[in-house]
Amino acid sequence: MTLGAQPLTRRDWLAGAALTLGGGIVKPAQAASVSLPVPTSLLDELTLALKRNSPLVVMVSLDGCPFCRIARENYLLPLQNQQGLSIVQIDMRSRQMVLDFAGAQQTQDQLIRKWGIKVAPTVLFFGRGGVEVAERLVGGYIPDFYGAYLDERLHTARAAVQV
């Protein structure tokens, strides 16, 4: 199942890999990238998500990461737009402040290190109490199966917040 308007091709993923391995960086002037909302408070975002009987989905991204862009634009944004799923983005290396689930303020970078995340993209699924309710989706995976991996984790996360 593809969640975006167009399914990703192996060529899309290989182009992303070539950029990464070749040291190329997609700059905003080269390709305008659409972003997910950046939260100021994860607790507030989680509260809103749970009111809709939905998990809070958090994408950990890295500026210039082609795999992050593919995951965001071809999978996560369509889910947000079509299903109203609560999805926010936290950026590795960002010094922007965010309130965590306990109400403590820290930089996005500090929060990512606290979560033990080392790979972008990583997608996390949170339920009550800021507890992860599904297995993390780490990295780009095989493009033909990314949508299926995401669907599986969303199904698990949705079931967990319904209890």
Residue 4, in any domain of the structure: no
pLDDT tens-digit profile of 1-11? 444 444 444 44
Tokens 């303020």 belong to residue: 105
Question: Would the pLDDT of 127 be above 70?
Answer: yes
* Most confident among 27-41, 116-130, 140-154 (mean pLDDT): 116-130
Q: Please indicate, yes or no, if residue 64 is contained in any of the structural domains.
A: yes
Say which CATH number the domain at 135 has.
3.40.30.10
Radius of gyration of the chain (CA): 15
5 is a domain residue: no
pLDDT of amino acid 123: 97
On whether residue 25 sits in a domain, the answer given is: yes
Q: What is the span of the domain harbouring residue 138? A: 10-162
Q: What does the alpha-carbon distance between residue 61 and residue 5 come to, in Å, rounded to a whole number?
A: 22
pLDDT over threshold 50, residue 15: no
Using 50, 70 and 90 to split pLDDT, how confident is the model at 144?
Answer: confident
> Is 2 inside any structural domain?
no
Phi first, then psi, for residue 39 (nearest 5°) are -75, 150
Q: What is the mean pLDDT of residues 20-42?
A: 62
Residue 3 lies in a domain: no
User: How many structural domains are present in the chain?
Assistant: 1
Give the per-residue pLDDT at 35. Answer: 86
- For residue 116, give every residue at least 6 positions away whose Cβ sits within 8 Å of its Cβ, in sequence order, or none: none
Residue 58 lies in a domain: yes
Asked whether residue 1 is assigned to any structural domain, the reply reads: no
